[in-house]
């Protein structure tokens, strides 16, 4: 696969204007309510805007993505009636749809950034980095750029005993994002995060780099995903710029919290598809959807199919609201 060709093809597709959304889960455990809700939003969003929805498997962190989880996840999505226009099982012309099969693209992207001097090797351990780092307003560690200032001799010395991570040199100044659900986000990445990692010391490519490469190459026009990634969007915008393009439209949805007010995790079995099936049996997807939709504050029935939910989205005016929001985002 050739990065330049794949990017060109994706951008050509995007320029055609047809909505292309994606649902991009990591197979790290059972799907929980929050994952299903994200899938539901992504799927509904593409459908309401008469576009396509891609299923992409984000399995770069092989330490966390266990064998069998992907299969289970695909079965659960199928059990719930989700169908995708492109994906690992559906195929499609913008594949492969599994990140572990796209590593050659990320490698080429990193080489491209190296050739533009937009990345540099960082030899700091997490502890060293945190010991020196200041904290942003939101409590995040801000990398101090130490390794950017090392001399060639110092770098050579470090390279003898350590493997580097690769950090992206961020631009100074504010990045503004218009989010379809959450409104405007203004962030100065250099103050809030600093130069961020695009390839970890263990060789794994970061979420930031992989999703940007994939969304460009797959011609994605709309990113619908959980709010936990909202604050990372400006970093992705900087990467889009480095690759000579602009970001797709962003739509961040609120997270589902458990009763203690924490973000759900895939270990939270009580809130997962599997937990539901264990308790209620595998014949009643309708009530599972009913419970999810009720938790979202929609009132459209106790037992539902995806089709019912789509109809509700149309009748209740949700589709129109999204269409209007899309129009607004396009004009910004």
Options 66, 266, 326, 332, the catalytic residue: 266
Torsion of the alpha carbons at 232, 238, 239 and 240, rounded to the nearest 10: 110
Closest contact distance (angstroms) between CB of 149 and Zn ion is: 10
Query: If binding is defined by CB under 5 A, does position 147 make contact with Zn ion?
Result: yes
Task: Please enumerate in sequence order all residues whose Cβ is within 8 A of that of 54, keeping only pairs 6 or more positions apart, or say none.
Answer: 20, 21, 22, 23, 84, 85, 86, 87, 92, 94, 97, 218, 220
Exposure of 47 in the CB half-sphere (CA atoms within 13 A)? 20
Closest contact distance (angstroms) between CB of 318 and Zn ion is: 46
- Total chain residues near Zn ion (CB under 5 A): 4
Query: If binding is defined by CB under 5 A, does position 220 make contact with Zn ion?
Result: no
User: What's the rounded Cα separation, in Å, for the pair 105 and 109?
Assistant: 6
* Nearer residue to Zn ion within complex by CB, 146 or 263: 146
* Nearer residue to Zn ion within complex by CB, 167 or 326: 167
* Nearer residue to Zn ion within complex by CB, 9 or 146: 146
Helical segments of the chain, H only: 3-15, 33-48, 69-79, 103-115, 126-132, 152-161, 189-192, 207-217, 233-242, 273-280, 285-295, 306-315, 318-331
* Nearer residue to Zn ion within complex by CB, 169 or 293: 169
Closest contact distance (angstroms) between CB of 164 and Zn ion is: 8
Binding residues among 243-272 for Zn ion as defined by CB under 5 A: none
Binding residues among 101-140 for Zn ion as defined by CB under 5 A: 122, 124
Closest contact distance (angstroms) between CB of 243 and Zn ion is: 24
| 266 catalytic per annotation | yes
Query: If binding is defined by CB under 5 A, does position 239 make contact with Zn ion?
Result: no
User: What's the rounded Cα separation, in Å, for the pair 33 and 39?
Assistant: 10
Residues labelled catalytic: 266
- Residues lying near Zn ion in the complex (CB under 5 A): 122, 124, 146-147
């Amino acid at each position: 696969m050739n990065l330049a060709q794949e990017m060109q093809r994706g951008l050509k597709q995007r320029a055609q204007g047809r909505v292309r959304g994606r649902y991009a889960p990591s197979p790290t455990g059972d799907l929980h309510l929050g994952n299903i809700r994200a899938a539901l939003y992504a799927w509904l969003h593409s459908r309401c805007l008469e576009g396509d929805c891609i299923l992409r498997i984000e399995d770069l962190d092989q330490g966390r993505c266990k064998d069998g989880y992907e299969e289970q996840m695909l079965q659960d999505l199928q059990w719930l009636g989700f169908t995708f226009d492109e994906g690992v099982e559906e195929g499609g012309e913008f594949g492969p749809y599994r990140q572990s099969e796209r590593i050659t693209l990320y490698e080429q992207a990193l080489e491209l950034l190296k050739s533009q001097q937009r990345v540099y090797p960082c030899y700091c351990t997490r502890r060293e980095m945190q010991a020196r780092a200041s904290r942003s307003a939101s409590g995040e560690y801000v990398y101090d750029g130490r390794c950017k200032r090392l001399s060639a001799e110092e770098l050579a010395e470090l390279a003898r005993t350590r493997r580097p991570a690769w950090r992206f040199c961020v631009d100074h100044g504010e990045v503004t994002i218009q989010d379809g659900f959450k409104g405007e986000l203004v962030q100065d990445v250099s103050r809030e995060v600093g130069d961020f990692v695009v390839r970890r010391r263990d060789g794994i490519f970061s979420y930031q780099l992989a999703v940007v490469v994939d969304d460009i190459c797959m011609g994605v026009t709309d990113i619908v995903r959980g709010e936990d990634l909202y604050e990372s969007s400006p970093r992705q915008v900087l990467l889009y710029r480095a690759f000579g393009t602009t970001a797709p439209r962003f739509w961040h949805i609120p997270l589902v919290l458990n009763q203690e007010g924490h973000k759900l995790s895939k270990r939270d079995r009580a809130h997962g598809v599997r937990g539901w099936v264990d308790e209620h049996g595998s014949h009643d997807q309708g009530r599972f959807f009913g419970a999810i939709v009720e938790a979202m504050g929609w009132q459209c029935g106790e037992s539902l199919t995806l089709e019912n939910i789509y109809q509700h989205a149309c009748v209740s005016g949700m589709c129109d609201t999204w269409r209007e929001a899309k129009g607004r985002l396009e004009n910004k």
